[in-house]
Structure 1
Amino acid sequence: MAMPLDDPTEVLLAADRLPPTARDRECERLAQALIDSGTVPAWEVPADGVDRAVGICADMYWRRRHLAVPSVTTARDCAEWVWRQVHPAAREAVCERWALGYAFITRNTVDSASDLASATATLVIDAGTPFVPYFCLLYHSGKLRTNFAPHELLLVLDQSPLAVAAAAYTTAPVITALRAFAAFLTGDDAAALGHLDTAWDHPERTRATIDICLHGIWAARSGLRHGPLLRDRAVQAVAAYPRDAVFHARLAAGLRLVGAHEAALDTIDQALRLLPAHGARSSHNLLQDQLLRERELIVAGHTLTASISGQQPSPDGEPAGLIHRYQVFLAVTVIVGIAAVCTAGGGALLLTAGELSLPKRMAGAFMLMLSAGVIVSLLLVGNRMLRTDHKGEPEDD
């Protein structure tokens, strides 16, 4: 059944009275109907409407447009719509959320340098505000960030005509966070930490700024060294956004990197519980896959640590006990080898006693006595080691 388009605002007002899942379903139907009819949303998004049906449906509409044509040209059309239809108080938040979100789901297609230059030339001529190239800059940079292309990202942020056209916005904390991300990936820790602190401490720091900062620390070339930094910043992020699944996932990664696997497992499970089952399914599924991979890493690290320390048996037995018995086997092998050498050497010297001097015959006898002592020690020590469990405590008789 086709969605009526004569008064979509009535549909959206009715959708707001539904539970979230049903509301999103209505928004998806309307967004698809708009796409099918070639109609651009004509409603306005008020300051408090970003997370209401009017904002959700508009997001779904432009998400479909970007999936169909994932280019800076589509981003330009979207930016112009946001500039016209979204309340100024919500405009920059919408810009960051939509531009970076659409970049995430269309990361497999990146505009070439020539396409980017052509689109930018049109922007410079037609755009009446630097907001439009800024939206496009975030969209293109978001793709490079998602594809872990730090050198290309720095080039776009520093030298591209798109950045020049959006010059009024290039000191925004989210742009500084992107610089920090790129520096972390190139291994320039000094620049990365400087940009990180600048973006993190900015009075207009946004959720997207925090997200990119944490992503950069997590993806850093020297990631293990930055484990405490990721943990500490993620703790602050979770305190500011306690129901944000992504921030809980970053905290779980930080805890994993510092070896706190139990806490990391609890945190990643909390992230999975917080991940919303409503909204755009493509983004939800991608995020869920990432969180599940992080959980696998945590479980693997926890299992390995437990096995090495011998604190927890596995379903296949006790790895630590196997390690202990292997150590006993190695020790016995070494002792037997020493005894064999001593026996062979001493025996050879005594067998040729008639041809050897008294000191050499005495040396042969000494080697045989040493061999006997080693064998006796082997029996005593081996018995003790086998009677001792892998935690260092004697087993009960």
Structure 2
Amino acid sequence: MDTSAAQGQVHEQIRVRLAAVMGADAAELGRIAEEAALRLHESGQEPDFEVRSADFATDPFFVCADRYWRRRFAGSPSSDTALACARWIAVHTAAGCRSTVREQWTLGNGFINRSHLETREQLDEAARHIAGTPEAADLALTALLYHAGKLRANFAFDDLNALLTTSALATTAGSHRDDPVILALRSFAAFGSRALTTEHARELLDRAWTSPHPSRHVVDVCLNGLAFSVPFDGQGELLRTLAQEAVDTYPDHHMFRFRLATAHHLCADHEQALTHVDAALAMLARHGAFSRELLLEQYLVKRDAIQEARLRAAREAEHEARWRRQDAANADLERAMHRSSVRAVELVAVFTSAIAFAVGSLQVTLSGTLKLRERLWMLTALGAWLTVFALLIVGGTWLITRGRSRR
């Protein structure tokens, strides 16, 4: 049997086996797809079937192709592999899922191979290699997204912005530079960069977010940029609004639930943040994502941060309540002392008037030759003046202290 016939037989066996697990549970489907991908990779053959969806849960052909290209990228994490992947996508994927498959494989494998970064010269050489070919724009887009995925995973914001705006790959990509995924990546770079403004980042975000039918990856990159942005006023509220929209659209997606938890954490709504991060952890356990361990660590770190912030907020609330009680007690004591001092002044005025009246009345009574009627008039006048004096003291004290009492 010649080589081509043997290869054809291998591909036919793989197609039959993958078709047999259509509708199987995710674990069985993934196991068979992984075995088929390994067989293809070890034999040096690319998958020879059409991918009609980007569904990890139900499409064994997509899962097999995904595992195959993951091995190819791991073995040679370069733009050459990205270009080979782009050519395969152009031939072996249905038009309806082509963009989604490209975004999944470029950004995902970029994240996995983030430690292998090519130089600007190597990327420019790749752009020159494909320039002038009919499929140059699509090939450049795939290579551009793959390297952008690496820079995004490394949070190299300024390098990412330069790649997407001034590189030869970006120029060769042509009109694809206005694709929602490119706009989302540019907003991610702008939010994280200290050389670009928040207004510019938000403009790019709005263009990507409001594009017709933004893909899941576009939504993910937009939320990712907001979550890791240089802090700005309204960041938490904006992230909360958009993350809630994403959760409403993709209710079973653990990453969007995690972004919503991050948003509530930024808004100091710790109870809601804890609820959503726990939901994200539960979803992650059910879905069994490829990078589960990395995501699990990230989610647990965020959960610890939320718990710490929650406890700190509770302690601060307790301290604030204690200070308020102490302030109220101090105010009550101040008012009591104030009232006591006012009463003391009034009492002194009254006693002073009484003593003065007593001394004056004795002098009038025990001395002099005045008649009784005259002495009575003098005592009455003295008492009246002393009463007026006491009233003036009490009234003046009340007027002086009235404003302070109100405060």
Structure 1 and Structure 2 fold alike (TM over 0.5)? yes
Q: Which of 225, 244, 260 matches 2:269?
A: 260
The equivalent of 1:135 in structure 2 is 142
Report how far residue 278 of structure 1 moved. 5.2
The equivalent of 1:14 in structure 2 is 20
2:185 corresponds to 1:174? no
2:110 corresponds to 1:106? no
The equivalent of 2:403 in structure 1 is none
2:255 corresponds to 1:249? no
SS at match of 2:131: helix
Q: Tell me if the contact between 1:255 and 1:263 (Cα under 8 Å) persists in the aligned partners.
A: yes
Mark the CA change 1:276 to 1:68 in structure 2 (over 3 Å): closer, same or farther.
Answer: farther
Q: Tell me if the contact between 2:53 and 2:59 (Cα under 8 Å) persists in the aligned partners.
A: no
The equivalent of 2:213 in structure 1 is 204
The equivalent of 2:350 in structure 1 is none
Which structure has more helix as a fraction of its residues?
Answer: 2
Report how far residue 151 of structure 1 moved. 1.2
* CA RMSD in angstroms, aligned pairs only: 2.4
Gap runs ≥5 in structure 1: 311-319, 328-397
Q: Which of 25, 29, 33 matches 2:35?
A: 29
The equivalent of 1:233 in structure 2 is 242
Amino acid at match of 1:159: T
Q: Distance in 1 between matches of 2:13 and 2:20?
A: 12
The equivalent of 1:365 in structure 2 is none
Q: Tell me if the contact between 1:224 and 1:257 (Cα under 8 Å) persists in the aligned partners.
A: no
Report how far residue 280 of structure 1 moved. 5.6
The equivalent of 1:286 in structure 2 is 294
Amino acid at match of 2:226: I
Q: Distance in 2 between matches of 1:97 and 1:86?
A: 13
Q: Distance in 1 between matches of 2:136 and 2:189?
A: 27
Q: Which of 301, 306, 311 matches 2:314?
A: 306
Mark the CA change 1:65 to 1:280 in structure 2 (over 3 Å): closer, same or farther.
Answer: farther
With normalisation by structure 1, the TM-score equals 0.74
* Structure-to-structure mapping, 1:1-397, within 5 angstroms: 6-47=12-53, 51-124=58-131, 128-187=135-194, 188-222=197-231, 225-275=234-284, 277=286, 281=290, 283-310=291-318
Q: Distance in 2 between matches of 1:225 and 1:194?
A: 15
Mark the CA change 1:98 to 1:20 in structure 2 (over 3 Å): closer, same or farther.
Answer: same
Amino acid at match of 2:162: L
Q: Tell me if the contact between 2:257 and 2:277 (Cα under 8 Å) persists in the aligned partners.
A: yes
Amino acid at match of 1:215: N
With normalisation by structure 2, the TM-score equals 0.72
Report how far residue 129 of structure 1 moved. 4.4
Q: Tell me if the contact between 1:177 and 1:199 (Cα under 8 Å) persists in the aligned partners.
A: yes
Report how far residue 74 of structure 1 moved. 0.8
Gap runs ≥5 in structure 2: 1-8, 327-407
Mark the CA change 1:29 to 1:166 in structure 2 (over 3 Å): closer, same or farther.
Answer: same
Report how far residue 6 of structure 1 moved. 4.8
Mark the CA change 1:52 to 1:273 in structure 2 (over 3 Å): closer, same or farther.
Answer: same
Q: Deviations over 1:101-121 (max 9, x none)?
A: 111111111111121112222
Report how far residue 224 of structure 1 moved. 7.0
Q: Tell me if the contact between 1:24 and 1:278 (Cα under 8 Å) persists in the aligned partners.
A: no
Q: Deviations over 1:6-29 (max 9, x none)?
A: 521111011224211111011111
Mark the CA change 1:252 to 1:299 in structure 2 (over 3 Å): closer, same or farther.
Answer: same
Mark the CA change 1:48 to 1:254 in structure 2 (over 3 Å): closer, same or farther.
Answer: closer
Q: Distance in 1 between matches of 2:64 and 2:260?
A: 31
Q: Tell me if the contact between 1:24 and 1:279 (Cα under 8 Å) persists in the aligned partners.
A: no
Mark the CA change 1:7 to 1:223 in structure 2 (over 3 Å): closer, same or farther.
Answer: farther
Q: Distance in 2 between matches of 1:280 and 1:112?
A: 31
Mark the CA change 1:271 to 1:59 in structure 2 (over 3 Å): closer, same or farther.
Answer: same
SS at match of 2:178: coil
Q: Tell me if the contact between 1:60 and 1:280 (Cα under 8 Å) persists in the aligned partners.
A: no
Q: Tell me if the contact between 1:65 and 1:74 (Cα under 8 Å) persists in the aligned partners.
A: yes
Q: Tell me if the contact between 2:261 and 2:276 (Cα under 8 Å) persists in the aligned partners.
A: yes
Q: Tell me if the contact between 1:277 and 1:284 (Cα under 8 Å) persists in the aligned partners.
A: no
Amino acid at match of 1:88: A
Report how far residue 276 of structure 1 moved. 5.3
Q: Distance in 2 between matches of 1:101 and 1:224?
A: 31
Q: Deviations over 1:321-363 (max 9, x none)?
A: 9x99xx9xxxxxxxxxxxxxxxxxxxxxxxxxxxxxxxxxxxx
Q: Distance in 1 between matches of 2:124 and 2:298?
A: 33
Amino acid at match of 1:11: R
Q: Percent identity?
A: 35
